[in-house]
Amino acid sequence: MKKEEIPQDKSALDNVTKELCYAVDNNGNYTTGLSTGWEVKASALDAAWKDIDKRIEQIKQQIKNKELSPIAYFMELRLMDFQILAAYSGFWEWQIKRHLKPHVFEKLSSRQLEKYAKAFNVSVEELKRIS
């Protein structure tokens, strides 16, 4: 594709980031250019965000039903898996899985809650308030 043909379609990440693309300049040489996105990629990204939003709502319901602790909500919201949260919080993965149980979460110390709050970039009150 030619440099002036690099797609500039709107997407969810339009104001957040731009993608580096390779294109051909007027002399036939490869060069780089920035793209705000293209329609197909934006559609795929929108579909992915809808799936995430749906999972977040399901997790909120599970928290209300006392099936999961708020840790699950923030993991999904921040797109974290057990390995990532373990790296940010200092807990072992098995501990995090255990802390997903509401009765275990309720017994966490303030120090433990602070570690999770820091990892999720929220206050301890916000961490405990999800319902």
Q: What is the DSSP string of 7-20?
A: -B---TTTTT--EE
How is residue 94 written in tokens? Answer: 């098995």
Options 1.10.3470, 1.10.1200, 1.10.260, 3.90.1200; which CATH number does 52-129 get? Answer: 1.10.260
pLDDT tens string for the chain (131 positions)? Answer: 888 888 887 776 677 778 888 999 888 899 998 888 778 888 888 899 899 999 999 999 999 999 999 999 999 999 999 999 999 999 999 999 999 999 999 999 999 999 999 999 999 999 998 75
To 5 degrees, how large is the angle CA 63–CA 57–CA 51? Answer: 135
Provide the residue ranges of all domains of the chain, joining segments of one domain with +: 3-37, 52-129
Task: Say what the pLDDT of residue 13 is.
Answer: 67
